[in-house]
Chains A and B, each alone.
Chain A
Amino acid sequence: MLRIKNLDAGYGKLKVLRRISMHVSAGEIVTIIGANGAGKTTLLGAISGLLRNRTGEILFEKKVIQHLSPEKIVFMGCSLVPEGRQVFSTMSVKENLLLGAYVQHRRDRRHDAHQDLDRMYSLFPRLREREQQLAGTLSGGEQQMLAIARALMAKPKLIMMDEPSMGLAPLIVRDIFAIIRKLREEGNTVLLVEQNAKVALGIADRGYVIETGRIILQGQADDLLSNRDVQRAYLGRDLDAEVKLS
């Protein structure tokens, strides 16, 4: 579904990503894990078209998309839930969702919007209760749910999420991951960027580990979970200490 070949990207003279190659197949949950500043957000920016400064090849459903604008890429069915929620804070929850459906509107599927809205409200019942509230006054967790729901309103084939668990309480993180799993069961494809490596690898099929702009490891999620380097660096387990203790 998504295939990236030798992608380089950066900001001005600063090169952040170097020779990234990866792919996501239909129906998968793929996670990208890495420390702060590794370049995860940059990678999603490059795929979504927000970041123009990039070379290499990005294919979405076998079509080259690296020269397209974000609007066109969304229209093709590749949506991003950006880092840090980014809801339209001066607009109501419902307006946010309807704007998310604009792509559907352009596809002449505008009549589905109400059905989709209902679907989002059953997926995120809290949003229904707060339909008329300004998005900026929602709690962090609710804003994250709104951001995800807004992206889903576009009926994407691939949904990319940038750290959906950032700054949220464990209970809400659990909710959100349950929803991601549900999305996959409904046949969606998810590319999930996370610092919370344990949970992310827990629900993913495959994973990539990215460090200072390079992919240093990739494989099945289970293999990564049991990989010693991954455990030491991202799962917070100090193996040496454990060895000493035992």
Chain B
Amino acid sequence: MNIELFFQYLVAGVTYGTIYAIVAIGFNIIYNTTGIINFAQGEFVMLGGMTAVTLHAFLPLPIAILSAVMITMVIGALIEITFIRWLISPSVLRMIIITIGISILVREIALHIWGAGVKALPYFSGTAVSAISIGDVHISPQVLWVIGVSAVMVICLNLFFTYTLPGRQMRACSANRDAARLCGINAKNMVTLSFVLSAGIGALAGCVVSPITYVQYDGGTALAIKGFTVAILGGLGNSMAAVAAGLLLGILESFSIWVMPTAYKDVISISILLLILFVRPSGLFGSKEAAQLKEF
């Protein structure tokens, strides 16, 4: 493999890896406040992309994206309020079944509204063929959009959790729910907020990536599996590790094309998932201490 090809693969890997990381962070946010693994996380990404495409028919791109993100956040809140909020200490299995149910429901509704066709937003800057060239390596500007927007999201989330009152309250709920309630924090609202946040970042990721990967009503499922793999790989609940794990998986997948047929690409993530679950369930970056002192 020559060096240009190497970088081309690397860039593709980083792009996909970033999206996996964002989906994984969505998993982590909800997991941290509730202990729930929300298997409908991928659907937020799909909803964001789809809604933005529809709105873009009559709205300028930035406004369409912004509205799509808002709408998905509202949907996230509604999902939590209708399906999760009223449950009194449900078992993990029950929660898994409920969130899988939600994901199927959302997918079917999306099929009904948008049909089975493949859609995409236009490239944010330039066109599908425009490229920024660094030496012989050509990078689509959209790739920079994906990486840039994701990086900003991760930084903003970090600031949110470290310095704002609701961010601290969410962390308090994940550290000790009863103690948080004894501080006067409404734990149920924090759960709703975690769904809203996850929906928002998922939707935004869905928008920026759609010109490259396209969106389809059932696109969320594959993403959810990848995102879940990454979340487990990094150690559930640990969002910074999710970024590293996401990039790792993206790059691995990307280079796998080079050694085996493209059709086997998804095998990688499933194998990693199984391997990690068997060998090191606390994740690559998870240690026993980290599991005790869990931090975003």
Q: Is A70 engaged at the interface, CB distance under 8 Å to the other chain?
A: yes
Mark contacts of A65-78 with chain B using CB atoms, 8 A cut-off: 1 yes-contact digit, 0 otherwise. 00001110011000
Q: How large is the interface on A (under 10, 10 to 19, 20 to 34, 35 or more residues)?
A: 20 to 34
Cross-chain contact A91 with B294 (CB below 8 angstroms): no
Q: Is A154 engaged at the interface, CB distance under 8 Å to the other chain?
A: yes
Given A74-B183, A91-B171, A99-B185, 15 further pairs, Cβ under 8 A:
A69-B181, A70-B181, A71-B184, A71-B185, A74-B182, A86-B178, A88-B175, A88-B180, A89-B292, A89-B293, A90-B171, A102-B165, A136-B293, A151-B182, A154-B183
Q: Would you list which residues of chain A between 41 and 68 have a CB under 8 Å from chain B? A: 48, 50
Cross-chain contact A91 with B175 (CB below 8 angstroms): yes
Complex: A99 Cα to B175 Cα, angstroms? 12
Which of B180, B186, B293, B294 contacts A99, CB < 8 Å?
B180
Q: Is B169 engaged at the interface, CB distance under 8 Å to the other chain?
A: yes
Chain A residues near B275: list those with CB within 8 A: none
Q: Is A230 engaged at the interface, CB distance under 8 Å to the other chain?
A: no
Given known A90-B295, A136-B293, contact A106–B184 (CB-CB < 8 A)? yes
Cross-chain contact B181 with A71 (CB below 8 angstroms): yes
Complex: A26 Cα to B292 Cα, angstroms? 40
Main secondary structure, interface of A, reads helix
Q: How large is the interface on B (under 10, 10 to 19, 20 to 34, 35 or more residues)?
A: 20 to 34
Chain A residues near B121: list those with CB within 8 A: none
Chain A residues near B169: list those with CB within 8 A: 99, 102
Cross-chain contact A82 with B168 (CB below 8 angstroms): no
Complex: A199 Cα to B295 Cα, angstroms? 38
Chain A residues near B293: list those with CB within 8 A: 89-90, 134, 136-137
Q: Is A95 engaged at the interface, CB distance under 8 Å to the other chain?
A: yes
Q: Would you list which residues of chain B between 126 and 180 have a CB under 8 Å from chain A? A: 165, 168-169, 171-172, 174-176, 178-180
Given known A88-B171, A99-B172, A102-B165, contact A82–B178 (CB-CB < 8 A)? yes
Query: What would 9 A/B residue contacts be, using CB atoms closer than 8 Å?
Result: A69-B181, A71-B186, A86-B176, A88-B175, A89-B293, A90-B175, A102-B165, A106-B184, A136-B293
Chain B residues near A48: list those with CB within 8 A: 182
CB B22 to nearest CB in A, in angstroms, measures 22
Q: Is A128 engaged at the interface, CB distance under 8 Å to the other chain?
A: no
Cross-chain contact A89 with B182 (CB below 8 angstroms): no
Q: Would you list which residues of chain B between 162 and 215 have a CB under 8 Å from chain A? A: 165, 168-169, 171-172, 174-176, 178-186
Cross-chain contact A89 with B185 (CB below 8 angstroms): no
CB B100 to nearest CB in A, in angstroms, measures 29
Q: List residues of A whose CB falls within 8 A of some B CB.
A: 48, 50, 69-71, 74-75, 79-80, 82, 86-91, 95, 98-100, 102-103, 105-106, 134, 136-137, 150-151, 154
CB A82 to nearest CB in B, in angstroms, measures 6
Chain B residues near A74: list those with CB within 8 A: 181-184
Which interface residue of A87, A89, A98, A151 has the most chain B CB atoms within 10 A? A89
5 interchain residue pairs of minimum CB distance: A88-B175, A103-B184, A74-B184, A86-B179, A70-B181
Complex: A178 Cα to B281 Cα, angstroms? 46
Cross-chain contact B168 with A99 (CB below 8 angstroms): yes
Chain B residues near A87: list those with CB within 8 A: 176, 179
Complex: A95 Cα to B171 Cα, angstroms? 10
Cross-chain contact A88 with B186 (CB below 8 angstroms): no
Cross-chain contact B183 with A50 (CB below 8 angstroms): no
Chain A residues near B178: list those with CB within 8 A: 50, 70, 82, 86
Chain B residues near A86: list those with CB within 8 A: 176, 178-179
Which chain A residue has the least Cβ–Cβ distance from B175?
Answer: A88
